[in-house]
């Protein structure tokens, strides 16, 4: 039988793949959301210290990776005052600590940090603390998000290309090895295999080069810095990329040998069947490639990592078998013409069973990953990850609904062609040249995806003898094309949303970060209280600012405003705080005149809870008023 590659029409599934890749490239241009969160720092954000601390320590929600510039402490003059890089404090992987130089002057210091989450995504931020008293600062901190750099955007693009390449390579190989071995001799299939391998290899090499500047926020030129590349390959994410390149090298050797066997010059390509060794080797390489993702991304962080990693591997493989196999089947069915190859209905049936198994694995592993990463029903609607997951779920349900229409229409089409002169035995023959019949032969028992793919592959016109199909078949064919187009479009949406999920902070981490932020409380407490001394022109409001409003050392500033909102200079302001419930106080803040406002920068509050602030404002020699207000004080961040 002829196994060449006659001219083919572009099937809908191939167009869908092109659209998917384009959507992935465009969707990957945005920055990834943070995957860890800062739960606390010592010194705390906004705190005012009587003396300079020896260290600055940061605590995160999960283990983080540190580089030479992960934590930078900048003086008011924008000079770095931590001479050595950050280390994990007391061996705890979720911390970062830097030692400060001796003899720090008074003023406000800026802490700029950038670390790498356990799932491989960088996060960044900044905060300030003051020694002695606050001051102006010239410290410069990047105002862009951690992934919103040139290297970060390119990294996102190539990450999505890598996912597409994996799906195409794994799916095409699975179709050849399990469903139709002789398809490996067809030029469209060989091109699909080559395209999948090339996309994965090129994107992996690019990701390895971009990893360094992506993690550190450096310029694109740093991608070619040997020192940066050396640090990348010794890290977890970089090591996984190196392993992926090695596996792709082994896959290239296997593909080359299989191609030579399938394209036997003696014309025996049709009888070639891959042996058990080839199948096991291919399965091992595919699992290894998927593991390079699972071991360095979401599955490697959070709870139940030993179970999450294999679940992620199975999820990726099932995705590749289903999507890549769908495109491969469409390419095979599209290779038709006067001398085109006949497609065994049994091969379509095998793919139907394979696709059904892949969808089942996707459902089970997807449910587990959703539970693990979302964590609660509430997080489905209150976090970006949960809302994106709901969109994906809706798209999958719609896609399966569209596929059910494809299955029914394929059955009707088979019946229409049969009544036009093709017998039932002919319609279900082992070899059929009509792509629609190839899919419809198993429509009643096969899953929707196999049927839809088969129908998308070519025209449903005529029987095996080349006689034209009746008009009824043409009508069924047109309706079938519309449902398959809808199924393909929804498949593009599912694939796009899935890749967006890989760059979104999981719901559990988002909730944990929000809880940590709530526990830290606001960085500044502001209380405004009206006062009236009983004398005309001696009334207004006093504004008390307590920072950071936590147990320990605080700064407090008091400003008086007139009735019309203007600033007022007063001879004296006194502030005392009392914890009535525990019978502590009054604690005198000992405010001093700062020429326009009154302040103290060493007020110590020993316990959390609601304190009562008693503010005495003296506006003249004998005119004064004392007013009270509640001031909540939180505990130290854990």
pLDDT along the chain (638 residues), means of 10: 38 43 37 58 80 89 84 91 89 89 88 83 84 80 63 84 90 89 84 93 94 85 88 87 95 84 52 75 93 82 80 90 79 56 64 80 82 71 74 75 62 50 36 35 34 36 40 54 57 66 61 56 73 80 83 84 81 90 86 83 84 88 86 72
pLDDT of 514: 58
- What does the domain layout of the chain look like in residue ranges? 12-32+149-514, 38-131, 521-633
CA angle 24, 212, 75 (to 5 degrees): 120
Q: What is the pLDDT, as a whole number, of residue 135?
A: 81
| Burial class of residue 212, CB neighbours in 10 A (0-12, 13-18, 19+) | buried
Spatial separation of the C-alpha atoms in residues 545 and 188, rounded to whole Å:
71
Confidence at residue 491, expressed as pLDDT on a 0 to 100 scale: 62
The predicted pLDDT at position 203 comes to 94
Q: Give the residue carrying structure tokens 């390959």.
A: 233
Predicted local distance difference test score (pLDDT) of residue 460 = 35
β-sheet with 572-579: strand ranges across = 584-588, 572-579, 609-618, 624-633
For domain 521-633, give its CATH number from 2.60.40, 1.10.150, 1.10.10, 3.40.50. 2.60.40
Comparing C-alpha atoms, which of 375, 353, 361, 366 is closest to residue 395? 366
Confidence (pLDDT) at 257? 82
Among 353, 23, 318, smallest CA distance to 166 is for: 318
16 alpha-carbon distance from chain centroid: 23
Residue 77 CB-half CA count within 13 A: 5
pLDDT for the residue 495: 65
Looking at residue 294, what is its pLDDT?
A: 86
Cβ neighbors of 364 (< 8 A, separation 6 or more) are: none
3-state secondary structure of 111: strand
pLDDT at 416: 53
> CATH topology of 38-131 equal to that of 521-633?
yes
Q: How many helices (H) and strands (E) does the chain have?
A: 15, 20
User: Dihedral of CA 366/371/375/380: which sign?
Assistant: positive
For residue 451, what pLDDT is reported?
36
- Sign of the torsion formed by the C-alpha atoms of 463, 469, 474 and 479: negative
Beta strands in 68-133 (DSSP E): 71-74, 95-99, 107-117, 122-131
Residue 399 region, left (φ>0) first, then alpha (ψ -120 to 50), else beta? alpha
Return the CATH number of 38-131, one of 2.60.40.1220, 3.40.640.10, 3.40.109.10, 3.40.220.10: 2.60.40.1220
């Amino acid at each position: 039988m002829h196994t060449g590659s006659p001219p083919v029409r572009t099937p809908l599934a191939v167009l869908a793949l092109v659209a998917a890749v384009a959507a992935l490239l465009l969707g990957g241009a945005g920055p990834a959301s943070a995957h860890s969160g800062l739960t606390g720092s010592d010194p705390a954000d906004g705190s005012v210290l009587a003396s300079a601390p020896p260290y600055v320590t940061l605590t995160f929600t999960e283990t983080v990776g540190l580089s030479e510039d992960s934590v930078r402490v900048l003086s008011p003059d924008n000079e770095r005052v931590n001479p050595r890089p950050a280390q994990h404090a007391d061996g705890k992987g979720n911390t970062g600590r830097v030692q400060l130089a001796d003899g720090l002057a008074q003023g406000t210091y800026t802490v700029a940090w950038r670390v790498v989450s356990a799932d491989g995504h960088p996060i960044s931020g900044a905060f300030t603390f003051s020694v002695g008293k606050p001051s102006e600062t010239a410290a410069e901190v990047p105002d862009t998000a951690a992934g919103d750099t040139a290297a970060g955007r390119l990294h996102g693009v190539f990450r999505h290309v890598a996912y597409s390449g994996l799906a195409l390579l794994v799916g095409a190989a699975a179709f050849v090895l399990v469903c139709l071995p002789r398809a490996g001799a067809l030029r469209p299939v060989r091109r699909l295999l080559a395209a999948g391998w090339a996309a994965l290899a090129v994107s992996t090499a690019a990701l390895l080069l971009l990893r360094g500047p992506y993690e550190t926020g450096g310029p694109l030129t740093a991608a070619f810095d040997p020192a940066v590349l050396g640090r990348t390959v010794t890290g977890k994410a970089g090591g996984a990329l190196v392993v992926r390149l090695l596996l792709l090298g082994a896959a290239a050797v296997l593909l080359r040998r299989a191609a030579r066997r399938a394209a036997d010059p003696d014309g025996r390509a049709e009888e070639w069947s891959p042996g058990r060794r080839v199948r096991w080797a291919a399965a091992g390489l595919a699992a290894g490639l998927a593991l390079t993702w699972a071991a360095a991304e979401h599955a490697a962080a959070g709870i139940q990592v030993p179970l999450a990693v294999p679940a992620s591997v199975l999820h990726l493989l099932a995705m590749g078998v289903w999507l890549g196999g769908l495109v491969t089947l469409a390419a095979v069915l599209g290779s038709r013409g006067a001398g085109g190859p006949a497609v065994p209905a049994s091969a379509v049936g095998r793919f139907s069973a394979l696709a059904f198994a892949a969808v089942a694995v996707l459902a089970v592993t997807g449910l587990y990953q959703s539970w693990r990463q979302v964590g609660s029903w509430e997080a489905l609607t209150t976090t970006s990850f949960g809302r994106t997951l709901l969109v994906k779920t809706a798209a999958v349900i719609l896609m399966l609904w569209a596929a059910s229409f494809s299955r029914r229409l394929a059955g009707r089409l088979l019946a229409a062609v049969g009544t036009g002169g093709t017998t039932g035995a002919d319609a279900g023959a082992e070899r059929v040249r009509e792509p629609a019949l190839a899919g419809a032969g198993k429509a009643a028992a096969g899953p929707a995806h196999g049927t839809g793919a088969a129908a998308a592959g070519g025209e449903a016109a005529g029987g095996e003898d080349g006689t034209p199909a009746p008009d009824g078949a043409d009508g069924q064919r047109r309706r079938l094309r519309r449902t398959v187009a809808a199924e393909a479009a929804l498949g593009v949406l599912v694939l796009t949303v899935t890749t967006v999920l890989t760059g979104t902070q999981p719901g559990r981490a988002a909730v944990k970060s929000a809880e940590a932020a709530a526990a830290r409380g606001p960085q500044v407490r502001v209380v405004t209280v009206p006062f009236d001394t009983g004398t005309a022109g001696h009334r207004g409001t006093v504004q008390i600012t307590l920072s950071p409003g936590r147990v320990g050392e605080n700064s407090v500033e008091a400003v008086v405003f007139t009735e019309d909102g203007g600033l007022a200079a007063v001879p004296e302001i006194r502030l005392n705080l009392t914890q009535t419930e525990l019978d502590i106080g009054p604690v005198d803040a000992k405010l001093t005149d700062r020429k326009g406002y009154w302040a103290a920068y060493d007020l110590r509050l020993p316990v959390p809870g609601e304190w009562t602030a008693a503010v005495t404002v003296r506006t003249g020699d004998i005119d004064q008023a004392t007013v009270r207000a509640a001031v909540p004080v939180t505990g130290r961040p854990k």
